[in-house]
Amino acid sequence: MGLLRWKNLRWVVVFAVVIQLVPFGRDHTNPAEMQEPAWDSAQTRALAKRACFDCHSNTTTWPWYSNIAPVSWLTQRDVNGGRQHLNFSEWGKPQRHAGDAVTEVRGGDMPPWFYLPMHPDARLSDAEKAALMAGLQKTPGLQEVADHEGGH
């Protein structure tokens, strides 16, 4: 039985090493910052920076584990998707989901639950969430969009 476990463990180790050769998820160059929103206050920007900027800006902080597959793949996918939906560093470009930011924070969908254990600074208190939502509502381009006829 011990020999069988060792053989299985060996294959797991080989697999873990081989997947490191997949190039996706290790290009951690951040694009240039173009333009941010005209924030209503420094506090709103600070809260957004703390809770949102890693995935929704061009100032992503790439932790050490974002270099190890398969976590690197998931991290890169999340950052790419976050930037496509809302990018606070490219405010001059159309932002598909800018009007959903308040709804996402209010519903507890942002920041996502799986992000918070490794990024405890992104965890906002209820008062900080309320301040962020109020500030986003006052920041041009981030006002909550009403849900018309069940869709956006």
Digit-coded pLDDT (tens) for 114-143: 999 999 999 999 999 999 999 999 999 998
Give me the pLDDT at residue 116, please: 96
| Tens digit of each residue's pLDDT (9 = 90 or more) over 83-110 | 999 999 999 999 989 999 999 999 999 9
Task: Categorize the per-residue pLDDT at 3 as very low, low, confident or very high, splitting at 50, 70 and 90.
Answer: low
Give me the pLDDT at residue 19, please: 82
Phi first, then psi, for residue 90 (nearest 5°) are -130, 55
Give me the pLDDT at residue 1, please: 53
- Please tell me the distance from the alpha carbon of residue 98 to that of residue 106, in angstroms, as a whole number: 14
**Is residue 55 packed enough to be buried (19+ CB in 10 Å), middle (13-18) or exposed (0-12)?**
buried
- Please tell me the distance from the alpha carbon of residue 50 to that of residue 119, in angstroms, as a whole number: 9
Give me the pLDDT at residue 151, please: 45
Lowest-pLDDT choice from 19-33, 43-57, 112-126: 19-33
Please give the angle made by the CA atoms of 58, 59 and 64, to the nearest 5 degrees: 120
**Per-residue b/e over 108-142, b at no fewer than 16 CB within 10 Å?**
eebbeeebeeeeeebebeeebbebbbebbeebeeb
Q: Give the mean model confidence (pLDDT) for residues 68-74.
A: 92
